[in-house]
Structure 1
Amino acid sequence: MSKLDLDGQLWRFALEFYALPGVAEACLTLQDQADVDVIELLAAIYAERVLLQPLSSEDVADLHRQTAEWRGATVLPLREIRRVLKPPRDGFPEERHLLREKVKAAELLAEQIQLAITEQWLGQRAAKSGLSIREVFALIPKDDAAGQPRNERAIGIALSALETAMEHVIRNCGNSKKFGDQ
């Protein structure tokens, strides 16, 4: 694999899109309630709305194969450690929050690297007809939910919030600067 651009257009898009009203909450809901890889979902939104090259079902599967090992070895374990350190726990010192902040920063860097891997993959794929975001969402492989019940209502609301934010992307892509460009 060639050297990654950690500050690429997909990273900048992800930061801008995530900052839109309702997007962070929607992404966290989809991550927590539907076990979705938000990076893959953001990549699908970017491909559809910015690159104007929606992902096909084959693309979704290939993207997952490209990033699954990295995600499983870095992003998910760091997220689990961060979550364990969040609430006060018997036997954990008060200073656990200092470690939690370091782990949180490492998790963000791991996600940034996953976005760079994804952007590199997007640049190499052949454009073809693709799917809507709801269809892509249904195809994104889910993490092991460990028997957790899904809140379908919350998932539907989160998807609607993302679709609303995607309309913002369409409006801004028509401006002189492309959404995600600096």
Structure 2
Amino acid sequence: MSLWAWALEAYGQPGVPEATLALQDSYGQNTSFLLWAVWAGGPDAEVLTRAVALTQAWDATALRPIREVRRALKLSLPSVDDGAREGLREDIKAAELRAERVLMETLEGLAGASSGRHGALAALQAASAAWGKPVSDNALATLAGALS
């Protein structure tokens, strides 16, 4: 199964959206990167390093700026029609989803034969450490449990 298809299925499981958003907003992790690490079964350190560099560059270039605009448009603005603002926000939300898909499709190509066979928690721990901002095992275990 492709990473994108797997991620959509995984994100639909109870608790996964909340756990990934908490890791993103509270710990500065990248949701697409974390899900990729689990899907890939815990890639080796060299692949993780390459994936981090790629993801951090894409995060800074595309994901964070798009996300900031989407979140800013959540609030009403004086003299701007709410329907028009919400319509634009939905368009930006679609662009954010497309940016996540581009990232995941790129990461999928990195996994290749280097993928390990680690469980979700071990893959998340390795990815979080490689990201440079390790997260408590409890926060990672919450996502790993929701993905099971």
Residue 127 of structure 1, CA deviation:
4.6
Distance in structure 2 (CA, Å) of the matches to 1:91 and 1:156:
47
Q: Which has the higher helix share?
A: 2
Give me the identity figure in percent.
34
Of 124, 130, 135, the match for 1:139: 130
Residue matched to 2:19: 26
Q: Deviations over 1:23-78 (max 9, x none)?
A: 00000111110111111100111111xxxxx2233322210223333332211111
**2:106 paired with 1:159:** no
The separation in 1 between residues aligned to 2:72 and 2:63, in whole angstroms, is 14
Give ranges in structure 1 of 5+ residues lacking alignment. 1-7, 49-53, 143-151, 169-182
- Give the aligned CA root-mean-square deviation in angstroms: 2.5
Give the whole-Å Cα distance in 2 for the aligned partners of 1:19 and 1:92.
Answer: 33
Corresponding position of 1:39: 32
Q: TM-score w.r.t. structure 2 length? A: 0.82
- CA deviation vs aligned residue, 1:57-106 (integer Å, no higher than 9, x gap): 33222102233333322111111110110122345432211100000001
TM-score, length basis structure 1: 0.68
Distance 1:80 1:18 in 2: 21
**Cα deviations across residues 114-156 of structure 1 (Å, max 9, x unaligned)?**
0000011112x535687922232232145xxxxxxxxx8xx66
Aligned with 2:60 (options 45, 66, 72)? 72
Unmatched runs of 5 consecutive residues or more in structure 2: none
Who is 1:16 aligned against?
Answer: 9
The runs of 4+ residues in structure 1 deviating greater than 6 Å are: 128-131
Whether contact under 8 Å (1:41, 1:137) holds in the other structure is yes
